[in-house]
Amino acid sequence: MTEHALAALEWSLLTFLTHDGCVPTIHPNGTLDLDGCVVVGRERHAVAALALHDQPYGFTGDDVDAIRTAAQYDPGMGQLSMRLESLADKIEALLPPRAMK
């Protein structure tokens, strides 16, 4: 099972990062500064998910399904299949849980 970047409750509060004039900065040590609040660890994953949410360049559950379907066409379910499944898992982690729909 995929561990989502945000839990269902967190997705229901999407506006918590909406600020006028918010300017995120990535520091050399890898931390993300979001409007004066330092974001580290799992929270960076959540910010990535929020940044892609409902954007034309974001991902959907249909994208995940298409990648998983493509993985099934790898003869012998070898290296390509494993890479596609891994990609699908990473994308799915950036999406709201499907039960929310």
**pLDDT, tens digit (0-9, with 9 covering 90-100), for 3-39:** 776 666 666 654 445 445 555 666 677 666 666 666 6
Are residues 54 and 27 part of one domain? yes
* Six token digits for residue 41: 């660890």
Give the domain extent around 82.
Answer: 60-92
Instruction: Give dist(CA 96, CA 4) in Å, integer.
Output: 7
CB–CB of 97/53 below 8 Å?
no
Q: Identify whether 12 is part of a domain.
A: yes
**Global pTM exceeds 0.75:** no
Are residues 67 and 26 part of one domain? no
Q: Is the dihedral of CA 35, 37, 42, 46 positive or negative?
A: negative
**pLDDT, tens digit (0-9, with 9 covering 90-100), for 34-90:** 666 666 667 777 777 777 777 787 889 999 999 999 998 877 768 888 999 999 999
* Six token digits for residue 31: 């931390």
The structural domain count of the chain equals: 2
Task: For residue 13, count other CB atoms closer than 10 A to its CB.
Answer: 9
Are residues 47 and 13 part of one domain? yes
Q: Identify whether 16 is part of a domain.
A: yes
Are residues 47 and 37 part of one domain? yes
